Amino acid sequence: MTQDKINPSISFILVAVIAIIFGVLTIKSGGEVIFLDGIARMQAGNYSNFVVWFNFLAGFFYITAGIGIFFRKYWSVLLSRTIAIMTILIFLILGLTILNDGLYEMRTIIAMSLRSSVWIIVAFFAYKKISTNS
């Protein structure tokens, strides 16, 4: 299906729902590791505390960005871009931590790759669809 044949409102809904669900899942998983002394923390293994805290807090911004994208608000473009940049920055700091023999889990690298990719795509979508139509 070509880009022209996709209903623009469906693409906004889809991206917004992805951002919001991503945010809810991020808050849930990060909150379980941070606040619950149980199986989630044990399964997290050698997690980087600053990465978990960043992702937990970012989850609230994911939801906010998703709502802004749904309503086609220009501020959601700026917020999505900021989320993408900050996620990449935290990922780079994690890389430096690993290079300095810091503890980490391979799934953290995979998760940060996914988060970075998703937010680069969301920020690009918001920029192309909202900025150019404002």
Q: Does residue 94 fall inside a structural domain?
A: yes
- pLDDT digit string (tens) for 65-107? 999 999 999 999 999 999 999 999 999 999 999 999 988 899 9
- Tokens for 98? 């690993």
pTM: 0.89
- Tokens for 46? 């050698």
Q: Does residue 1 fall inside a structural domain?
A: no
3-state secondary structure at position 2: coil
The domain total for the chain is: 1
Q: Does residue 101 fall inside a structural domain?
A: yes
Q: Does residue 2 fall inside a structural domain?
A: no
Cα–Cα distance for residue pair 52/37, rounded to 1 Å:
14
3-state secondary structure at position 37: coil
Cα–Cα distance for residue pair 49/34, rounded to 1 Å:
8
In the predicted structure, residue 10 carries a pLDDT above the cut 60 = yes
The residue range of the domain holding 122 is: 7-133
Q: Does residue 117 fall inside a structural domain?
A: yes
At residue 7 the predicted structure's pLDDT band, cuts being 50, 70 and 90, is low
Cα torsion through 71, 131, 120, 48, rounded to 10: -60
- pLDDT digit string (tens) for 32-41? 999 988 888 8
